[in-house]
Amino acid sequence: MKTNADALVLLLAGGIGSRLNLLVGHRAKPAVPFGGLYRIIDFSLSNVMNSGLRKVGVLTQYKPLSLMAHIGGGEAWDFTGRTRGVKILPPRTGEKDSDWYQGTADAIRQNIDFIQNNPADQVVILSGDHIYRMDFDAMLSYHQHKQADITIGMMVVPKSQIHQFGAGIVDKENRIIDWEEKPKEPKTNLASMGIYIFDTRYLLETLARDKQENDFGMHIIPRAIEENRVFAYPFYGYWRDVGTIQSYWETNMDLIREDSELSPEEWEIQPNPEYGDRPMDRAGSRFTAASSVRSSLVAAGCVIEGRVENSVLSPGVIVKKGAVVSNSVIFDDVIIGQDARVDHAICDKRVYIGDGAVVGNSDNMTIANRDYPDHLYTGITLIGKEARIPDQAGIGRNCIINFGFQEKDFNGSLQLGDGESA
C-alpha cells in the first residue's frame, strides 16, 4: 500500500539568483550561508526529511559544485538506505544558451526520465531558496482529499508585495478560479510560495502537451485552472524568499528578534556538519572580560574581544579589542581588526577588516549603489569573499567590495564613498 512517504520530491536549485550579487558570485543561490550554521537549501531538505518523504531529486544548474558538495549523499538529512535517497540531477546543457533550463516547467520536463524511473502517485515540487518550515505530509493529505490535479502552497502577503509572486483567486472551497502572474494591479493578496503538488499522471501529460510551455506560473497553472482541479493550500507560518540582499539581511535579523517566528533549532533544521569547514568540530567561542555581546547570534569558534550588537556571526569570526560590529551578517573566519567598526554590512568568508577601518562610515543610508541601485539601497555594504580592507580605510554605505579586493585596488585613497564599488 502506497503512503504519502512514497511521493517523489523534485527540488529546484538551479536559479542564478543574481539579485544576491556577490553572494552568488562563487556559489549557487541555495548554497549561500545563512544564520551562522546553515545553507539556504537546508530548510527545504530538512522540511522534506521532517515530513517523512524519502526520495528527492535536486535539479542543479548555475555554479552547482558547492551545492553538490554540500548535499553529498544526503546523509545529513537521512536520505540514505534501500528505500530512500537524494539524487543530484545536473544540468543537461549543450552548446547554446537555449539548452539551459528555460523555466520551472522546462526544468522538470528535462528530467522526466527521473520521474518515470521513480514511480509515485504524486510529485512534490519545491524551490531550494526559501526560509520556512512546512509539513508536506499534511499538504499531500489535503491534495488527496481535494482530488486535485495540482495543489499550490499559498499565503497572504501585503498587496504592495504581490507583484513579486503568482497570485490566485479562490472560491469558498479553496479551488483556484483565476490566476495572475506577478500582477501590477492585483485583485488578491494570496501569493504562491512556489510549492506544488502534482498528480503524477497529470504532470506527465501536461508537460508532454505543449513543449513551449516553460514555466508553471506563466503557462502551466493558468491553463490547468481552466481545465482541471487546482487548489490552494493555505499556509499561515513563517516563510521568506531570500532572493534579494535586503530580504536576506532582514531574514538573518529575524533570527535575533525576540518576537520573530523564525527558529531553525525548534524547527529541526539540519545543516551538513561534514561539509566545508566542519563547524560542528570547532571549539566553543571565547569572550574576553572586555567584550560585549547584545542581541546577537555567535556561532562556535569565534573570539570576541570587542563589541557585537544585533549581528549574526558564523564560525571562526574574530572581533579584536575595541572593534564594534553592529547590524551585520558575518560569514566564516572573518577577522575584524582592532578598533575597527562594521555597521550594516554583509561580509563573505575570510574577509579581513584592518585595524581602525570603518565599514559604514556615513550617516546617509539612501545613496543607492551606482552599479546596482536595485540591489543595495538601504545602507547595507557588501564585502566579497577574501577581500582585505586595509588599516584606517573608510567604506561608505551601499558599497560593493569585490572578491579578493586588496589595498592596491584603491585609487590613491583609502576612502570609498557612499554607493561606490571597488
pLDDT for res 287 = 97
Where is 228: in which H helix or E strand?
none
Nearest residue to 252 via CA among 64, 28, 37, 85:
37
417 to 370, 377, 384, 391, 394: CA distances (angstroms):
11, 14, 17, 17, 8
C-alpha cell at position 331: 560569514
Whether 198 contacts 122, CB under 8 Å: yes
Whether 141 contacts 147, CB under 8 Å: no
Residues 254, 266: Cα–Cα separation, whole Å:
14
Residues 76, 98: Cα–Cα separation, whole Å:
35
Q: Which DSSP string do the residues of 37-58 spell out, in sequence order?
A: TEETHHHHHHHHHHTT--EEEE
Residues 407, 190: Cα–Cα separation, whole Å:
49
pLDDT for res 225 = 94
Residues 330, 343: Cα–Cα separation, whole Å:
11
DSSP label at 363?
Answer: S
pLDDT for res 370 = 97
pLDDT for res 235 = 97
In the three-class reduction of DSSP (H, G, I as helix; E, B as strand; rest coil), residue 218 is classed as: helix
Tens digits of residue pLDDT in 130-142: 999 999 999 999 9
Residue whose cell numbers read 573570539: 303
pLDDT for res 103 = 81
Whether 124 contacts 196, CB under 8 Å: yes
DSSP label at 364?
Answer: -
Three-point CA angle 339, 343, 348, nearest 5°: 95
Where is 195: in which H helix or E strand?
strand 190-199
Q: Report the DSSP beta bridge partners of residue 234.
A: 154
pLDDT for res 106 = 87
Q: What are the backbone angles phi and psi of residue 259, rounded to the nearest 5°? A: -95, 10
Residues 149, 356: Cα–Cα separation, whole Å:
61
> Pairing between strand 324-326 and 341-343?
parallel
Half-sphere exposure of 263 (CA within 13 A, CB side): 7
Residues (pLDDT < 50) of the chain are 95
C-alpha cell at position 5: 512517504
Q: Report the DSSP beta bridge partners of residue 329.
A: 312, 346
In the three-class reduction of DSSP (H, G, I as helix; E, B as strand; rest coil), residue 145 is classed as: helix
Domains in the chain, please, with CATH?
4-254 (3.90.550.10), 283-416 (2.160.10.10)
> Pairing between strand 318-319 and 335-336?
parallel
pLDDT for res 276 = 63
